[in-house]
Amino acid sequence: MKQQQQQQQQQTVLLGVTGSIAAYKACELLRLLQKAGLRVKVALTEHAQELVGAATFRALSGEPVATSLFDSPGNPINHISLAEEASVLVIAPCTANVLNKLASGVADDLLTTTALATTAPLVLAPAMNARMLRHPRTQASLELLEAAGATLVGPGEGYLACGEEDSGRMSSPEDVCAATLEVLARTQSLAGKRVLITAGPTREYLDPVRFISSPSSGKTGFALAREAAARGASVVLVSGPTDLTSPPGVEYVPVVTARQMLEAASEHFDTCDLAIFSAAVADFRPAEQASQKLKKGASLPSVVPDNDPATVSPAGASLASVASGTASASYSLTLTANPDILATLAARRAATGAKRPYLVGFAAETEDLLSNAREKLKAKGADLIVANDVSDPALGFASSHNQLSFVSKEGSSQTAVLSKEHLARHILDTLTPELC
């Protein structure tokens, strides 16, 4: 009974070991994790057992070692019980075979079925031949797993089993242990906090088939939602149309227009500790929306000739010339301003005198990045502006990487060019002290 209570108080590391010669390093990793106060249970693949036997890990861990889907007659669903016990799943070493299975969702043995069933964070320490590492399929799998929230440790360079000095060597047990402890610390850093995040573009329809929008993919907002949930927060994600799947454990609220996004965000705003407005909201919408598809040359309320003195069009709002029969005609679109979601909700917070939620706005700029971000910080009433230069097509909208500048009353700082998943971690690492 006392042992069961101690196990419940401890966080449990499920250590998966695969068929790489680096499997011997898992023994030292197990010891380091235990010294850090963690309970360690081990799951071995069939090929791993050819290198280091179950008896070794059983002696080191003091726990039963899982080797197959049907290890225990008393527990016929072994992978589910292991998945539920795990505070973190560490696979070290992780071969190219298992790495690619995880990326593809293949579940054909104990370890891969457990990985598919668990909601625990995933730490991977790849180990393989350099040629296998460089293969495009392996590189795609690494990118996919990282995008899904896995923490990759290495691989490093050094002497390989094939006799070459090259990339593919498993990182040291000390590095893998440190990464595991960091992941476990993050899983509790926002426990008990409520986080509101807006993401993606909004769409403002001219007619049933045409709309005003932006190239935003929603990747940053979804990465933030995934990371906040992984840190124990209760997350509401309000998103415009994207091709992304809602992260597990997140309350997902799909919207289309800016006004719908404001309404949805308003419902959750007052109960949140942190509100991150990362959506690329359309600043304008058509003054009127046609009920049917606009035809070339048609006279409809929302489309009028350029020379009509009643038309008021903001700079840059003119539509491109369109052909009308055999003649060429120009049309102007009358736009009206959308509500400013960040400024509206910041004003509501200010009216109550509350300090929460902590407000973070995003600024996508093409010039004068920092000066525009400082102006936005002051005008909107935010606590922090996260700004990025979207003039570089390799960064920002629809890309997998970005470089961000943080602007607050205290000053500014800039990140390196990082994946959006790493940037999400960086943003929440920055914000956590403000909330806790």
Distance CA 77, CA 59 (A): 24
Closest CA to 116 of 71, 80, 64, 70: 80
Which residues form the catalytic set? 162
Q: Report how far residue 356's alpha carbon sits from residue 271's, in angstroms, rounded to the nearest whole number.
A: 9
DSSP-derived 3-state class of residue 149: coil
Amino acid at 81: S
pLDDT score recorded for residue 305: 40
264's tokens: 């949805």
Instruction: Kindly report the backbone phi and psi dihedral angles of residue 47, in degrees, each rounded to the nearest multiple of 5, phi listed first.
Output: -75, -30
Q: Do domains 11-189 and 194-284+338-435 have the same CATH topology?
A: yes
Comparing C-alpha atoms, which of 147, 267, 137, 264 is closest to residue 217? 147
Antiparallel, parallel or unpaired: β 418-419 and 401-402: antiparallel
> How is residue 126 written in tokens?
């790849």
Cα gap 20→128, rounded to integer Å: 7
Whole-number pLDDT of residue 282? 92
Taking only Cα atoms into account, the Rg of the chain, rounded to an integer number of angstroms, comes to 26
What type of residue is 9? Q
335 contacts 315 by C-beta, under 8 angstroms: no
Q: Among all chains, which residue has been given the structure tokens 């933030």?
A: 224
Integer Cα distance of 261 and 239 in angstroms: 7
| Fold (topology level) of 11-189 | Rossmann fold (3.40.50)
pLDDT at position 9: 55
The torsion of the CA quartet 282, 353, 196, 201, rounded to 10 degrees, works out to 0
Q: Which pair of structure tokens corresponds to residue 50?
A: 């050819």
Please report the pLDDT score of residue 324 as a whole number: 42
pLDDT at 135: 94
Going from N- to C-terminal start, the domains of the chain cover 11-189, 194-284+338-435
Cβ pair 371, 408 in contact under 8 A: no
The answer to whether 125 touches 28, Cβ cutoff 8 Å, is no
Per-residue pLDDT of the chain (436 residues; tens, 9 = 90+): 344 434 445 789 999 999 999 999 999 999 999 999 999 999 999 999 989 999 999 999 999 898 887 666 555 556 677 888 888 999 999 999 999 999 999 988 889 998 988 888 899 999 998 888 999 999 999 988 987 778 999 887 776 666 677 678 899 999 999 999 988 888 778 889 999 999 999 999 988 888 999 989 999 999 999 989 988 899 999 999 999 988 888 999 999 999 999 999 999 999 999 999 999 999 999 988 888 888 776 554 544 444 433 333 333 334 443 334 444 566 778 899 999 999 999 999 999 888 889 999 999 888 888 899 999 999 999 999 999 888 887 777 777 788 898 998 888 898 888 888 888 988 999 898 888 7
With vertex at residue 165, the alpha carbon angle to CA 162 and CA 170, rounded to the nearest 5 degrees, is 75
What share of residues in the chain are helix, strand, coil (percent, to 5)?
A: 35, 25, 40
Residues 194-284+338-435: name the CATH superfamily.
Answer: CoaB-like (3.40.50.10300)
Q: Which residues pair with 327 in a beta bridge?
A: 324
Per the rule left: phi > 0, alpha: psi between -120 and 50, beta: everything else, 249 is left
Crossing angle between the packed helical segments 136-147 and 96-104, to the nearest 10 degrees: 50
Distance CA 176, CA 336 (A): 54
